[in-house]
Amino acid sequence: MSLLRIGTRRSPLALAQAEEIRVRLEATGVIADIVPMSTSGDEGARADSSPQGLKGLWIDTILDALESGEIDLAVHSAKDLPAEEDEGFTIAAVPEREDPSDVLICKEPGELRGGALIGTSSVRRRAQLLAAFPGLEVVDLRGNVETRLRKLEEGEVDAAVLAAAGLSRLGLAPEHARALPLAMMVPAPGQGCLAVQARDDDDDTIAAVAPIDHAASHRALDAERSLMWRLGGGCALPLGAHATVGMKAVSLTAVIATADGTTVLRVETEGATPEDAAADAAKDLIAQGAERILAEVETG
């Protein structure tokens, strides 16, 4: 087939992710070029300007280019995708997942002292951090990975939480970093996964990327996205979800927490399919009172 064009954002992490897909495809004999693009989010647009909210801001231009045929594939951090698949597109491949955990990076060695500032822009991380470290203060910390690490080094915060996968893909290994265990911090749905999107009627491209799909990682992502969809989740929802795939079942751990961390709802389910595991998790979370938390998020 002809040269494939991979659309991606221009950030260092997005380009590293696209390069990972290009190299994986090249190993199967498929040649591709990377097409860097700017999205509405990169241009500073507001979340209320996107029909898909905050997540839609980081993919809109790329999906427009995919729909028009300007590119053949779009590569995203799976956690950046809205829960509902856009009409006309499909996640054609999910390569083997990187470490999905969150990492706590401290400016200085040792344990954090009372009153220390932990930086994150994620409502999910904020809620779980406040539950795990009630004596600490969580403050807003924005920017790409390099910017947040620089702010940490400059002393704007005492610690920051970032995704292990992002650090790994950028080849970064900060000092005084430790992975937060699943019992303390359940990652975002899709964290550590790359989603390779194609037009759902582009059979040749879908077939070309099929060899780089990792079935277990794809099924785990399906479970986490299904749960997010069932709960109406987006970037503003303090939802964590992590699925693992065994020989006969899909296991799913999920949490929903109030923004202040005072209430944390946690469930662990198992199902024959990703959808079964997600349906049971959603049912159990709602039974514990998740709808009240969701309503509070919607009303702000």
Active site residues: 80
Whether 161 contacts 105, CB under 8 Å: yes
One-character DSSP codes across 191-244: TT-EEEEEETT-HHHHHHHGGG--HHHHHHHHHHHHHHHHTT--TTS-EEEEEE
Paired strand residues for 241: 254
Q: How far is CA 126 from CA 110, 179, 205, 259, in A?
A: 21, 16, 40, 7
Give the other-Cβ count within 10 Å of 223's Cβ. 29
Q: What share of the chain is helix, strand, coil (3-state, %, to 5)?
A: 35, 25, 40
Q: Which residue has the tokens 């399919």?
A: 273
Q: Output the six-digit token pair for 68.
A: 């028009």
Please give the structure tokens belonging to residue 273.
């399919």
Nearest to 185 by CA among 116, 67, 100: 100
